[in-house]
Amino acid sequence: MDFDYGDNAGASSDLNSLKPEFHSSRYVSGKLDFELNIDKDEYEEQKFKGLKQGMQLRPYQKELSQNAAKGENTIILAPTGTGKTIVAVEVIRTHISKCDNPKVAFVVEKKALADQQEIAIKKFLDGGQVGRSNINVGKVTGDTELTDLDTVLDSLHIVVLTAGVLSNDHRAVTDQKIAVSKFTLIIIDECHHCQKSHPYNRLMRMYREERNELISLGQSTDKLPQVVGLTATLGAGKKSRSVAKAVDHGLTILANMNAKNISMVEREKDSLAEYLNIPEEMTPVYVERREEDPIADKITELMTEIEREMEELPGYRHIPKASRVKPKDRQEYEQWVMTAIGRYCPEMVDSGEERRPLIVCLEYLKIYQKALCINRDARSKDACTFLREQFEKKLKERDNFIDQNWKFERSFCNNIKVMEKKAIQTQNRNPLLMELEPLIYNEFKNNPESRALLFTDTIESTRFLKQWIDESPKLKQILRSCPMTSETSEAQRRSSLQKFEERDYNMMVVTSVMEEGIDIGPCNLVYRLNYVPSDCGRIQQKGRIRAENGKSFFVCYGNLKANEEMAKVMEKLMADAVKTIKAMTPHLLAQNLEKCRKVDKRMTEEETRKRRLKGQSRDWKEYLLCCKKCSEEACTSFDIKRYNKSHHYVCLQSFCDEKIDIKPHHKPGQMDDLYKLGKIYCSSCAKDWGVLAKFHDLNIPVLKIDSFVVYELKPDGSRGNGKTIKKWINAPFTVEDVDVIEDELSYDVDFENWN
């Protein structure tokens, strides 16, 4: 798209000299004498003090809030840690004071952030009133038990929502019971995600569609809510390699948010600088891989054997060759494996006899690939430990084994002991860890009160890096560490963050889950191990440093040097793009945003047309659901009912008796007004088919459509072509909707002894 950037496109911004993307706030009032050993209660009191005494904002926070306080749609752009939540609360407070019947939605991306923001808003607006009523603040996430979302929202003035509650809720999308015009103000946290198919953009598409409809009817758009975005960066766009492309990306985010402008600090830069801590970005440390790596060599050899086994299988002709995807410890190889499991095999290999051996091969390749990544980023002995655990887990499914399973199990048993002996040899130490260890040790030795985040690429690596720290003669004396990933439970996450603030932990080993949003205590060190984040993630990671004299370290293999250099280029593109947009006159900016909106409108109309056609193509024909792994027939579409317009369950007793095995759920919990009790698996191949859910005294098998291949059953009993479907909303068939579950199904399971 061609935009007019005006005469001042190259104008510079003094704010760039502050390098705001590196900064973070200490949330304290007063001077620059904040100490790392501040008492937690004192920290919390200082953090919220100004707001409880009439929202005494810092000067730069007042500037950030001004456009939104005037009722404008805007994106508030400020460095990580400068108190954007505080600014948002001021915007809410101003909005409530001017609105007769306020209804505020504070939209976040993850449940953990919903908990955090709900607590913050309640603290900040404690004791406030709407007319004669106290302000009611609540939270609704995907885990919230809901029967009537309208009723819940009607009881609240301010509701903190996860993005999917409105954009994914079937009633919101289909029946339009929850329209965006129900709200008077929508605040979207980390709004740089508002693009493509992200839930934020699906929510804002509902807004834009409603806006377009009002305009087409010649009606006022005043009934639509005000929209305010919060972010530390707009991003540059994955494929941007020029300022012009980065500007296009920024304008698209603005248009998607229906924002009129960007609100950032321009007049109160001195105030902003007083509260910023600029971390020192240390020189990257690039290392060479192990001169000899017998564990990686053996794992690669075992993977090659499996690939050769696959090449001899009849169905392999439908799968792109693995030899084209190198090396095996890269994300591209993992994507090849996952795509082959999820799409190529189920859709292209119709015969269960041909498909199942292929998927078994791919599952073992997946295990070895993860071990290869652990060997790359942690210790060789950790890779061996992981392999032992995974193969022991596989062995528990021996009743469902086929020839390939036994062949790969024997191969593993023949090699693992030799691998474990070689893994502990001194010459097999990981060069990454040899460089990282002194960097950590020296910083903590010089400042024992330090607190640090160690970012790594994979969930598995967090666990083994924590073990490395605990077993390191040097580091175990000074570090008290814990891992945190997207798989960390809510209770464990809260406990770990609290212990980090209270100094029970002084190091957290994390994945990208900690890049943005989650509020952590003062942290002065960030280490990145062989991991280059996205353009936005890079800024967010450094923004995790919330104490003075902070430092940011990067240790990686030499092959990532180009990626890191490109990340720095993207960072500069982002800054230059914001300057260019800010330099546009209001009239020119409005023109460019209108161009974006017209493009979006055309795309939305086309998607609506496709959805309508897809909806018309849905029918009451009978479809057959077969296991994605072994092609075992599970049930037909006539055997499925949909409860609460979202949960698809099988109402057939023979399905329970013959088709599934049931095991306790590893994370039991609420799912709307159902309770996740167990997991259901294919009785033939142990493929995960979904969950066993409890409804009052009834237990029902709830399916996930992604576990099946769907075939149309023709009148003569033959099958049509198979399709894999990721979400139920895309299923080609219609099922019966029920408001109450009355199907009594019996199970041969001892439920009483599960818990």
**CATH at residue 455:** 3.40.50.300
Q: Would 613 be classed as within a structural domain?
A: no
Asked if 417 and 391 count as a contact pair (C-beta separation under 8 A), the reply is no
DSSP state of 378: S
Pairing of strands 507-510, 551-557: unpaired
Q: Would 578 be classed as within a structural domain?
A: no
Q: What is the pLDDT of residue 34?
A: 30
Q: Is 662 exposed, middle or buried (0-12, 13-18, 19+ CB in 10 A)?
A: buried
Q: Would 8 be classed as within a structural domain?
A: no
Q: What is the pLDDT of residue 191?
A: 96
Q: What is the pLDDT of residue 611?
A: 63
Q: What is the pLDDT of residue 750?
A: 63
Tell whether 367 and 272 lie within a shared domain.
no
| Kind and range of the H or E run holding 61 | helix 59-69
The amino acid that residue 507 corresponds to is: M
Q: Tell me: the pLDDT tens digits for 179-193?
A: 788 899 999 999 999
Pairing of strands 660-671, 736-738: unpaired
Residue 327: asked if its preceding bond is cis (omega within 30°), the reply is yes
Q: Would 245 be classed as within a structural domain?
A: no
Q: What is the distance, to the nearest Å, from the Cα of residue 700 to the centroid of all Cα atoms in its chain?
A: 29
Tell whether 301 and 217 lie within a shared domain.
no
Q: What is the pLDDT of residue 163?
A: 82
Q: What is the pLDDT of residue 22?
A: 29
Q: What is the pLDDT of residue 509?
A: 96
**Nearest C-alpha neighbor of 734 from the set 613, 638, 607:** 638
Report how far apart, in Å, the C-alpha atoms of 616 and of each of 16, 611, 612, 710 are.
53, 9, 6, 18
Handedness of CA 290, 292, 295, 297 (dihedral sign): positive
Tell whether 169 and 269 lie within a shared domain.
yes
* Last residue of one domain, picked from the residues 399, 428, 457: 428
What does the DSSP assignment read for 279-314?
-EEPPPEEEPPPS--HHHHHHHHHHHHHHHHHHTSG
Q: Would 632 be classed as within a structural domain?
A: yes
Q: What CATH number does the domain containing 313 carry?
A: 1.20.1320.30
Q: Would 181 be classed as within a structural domain?
A: yes
* Last residue of one domain, picked from the residues 245, 278, 311: 278
Distance CA 700, CA 694 (A): 6
Q: Would 266 be classed as within a structural domain?
A: yes
Distance CA 278, CA 18 (A): 8
Tell whether 269 and 135 lie within a shared domain.
yes
- List the domain range (segments joined by +) for residue 102: 14-235+258-278
* Last residue of one domain, picked from the residues 216, 249, 278: 278
Tell whether 271 and 307 lie within a shared domain.
no
- Split into its structural domains, the chain has a count of 4
The HSE-up count of residue 300 (CA atoms within 13 Å, CB side) is 16
Q: What is the distance, to the nearest Å, from the Cα of residue 235 to the centroid of all Cα atoms in its chain?
A: 16
Tell whether 136 and 263 lie within a shared domain.
yes
Helical spans, DSSP H, in 217-351: 243-256, 269-274, 294-311, 331-339, 345-348
Q: Tell me: the pLDDT tens digits for 633-692?
A: 999 999 999 998 889 999 988 898 889 999 999 888 888 778 899 999 999 899 999 999
Q: Would 596 be classed as within a structural domain?
A: no
Tell whether 477 and 422 lie within a shared domain.
no
Report how far apart, in Å, the C-alpha atoms of 743 and of each of 445, 617, 640, 652, 701 are.
65, 29, 11, 9, 11
SS3 state of residue 425: coil
Distance CA 618, CA 577 (A): 45
Q: What is the pTM of this model?
A: 0.79
Asked if 137 and 126 count as a contact pair (C-beta separation under 8 A), the reply is no
Tell whether 274 and 307 lie within a shared domain.
no
Which residue stretches of the chain have pLDDT < 50?
7-53, 169-177
Q: Which residue has the tokens 């902003």?
A: 272
Tell whether 637 and 500 lie within a shared domain.
no
Tell whether 445 and 551 lie within a shared domain.
yes
Tell whether 665 and 700 lie within a shared domain.
yes
Tell whether 457 and 534 lie within a shared domain.
yes
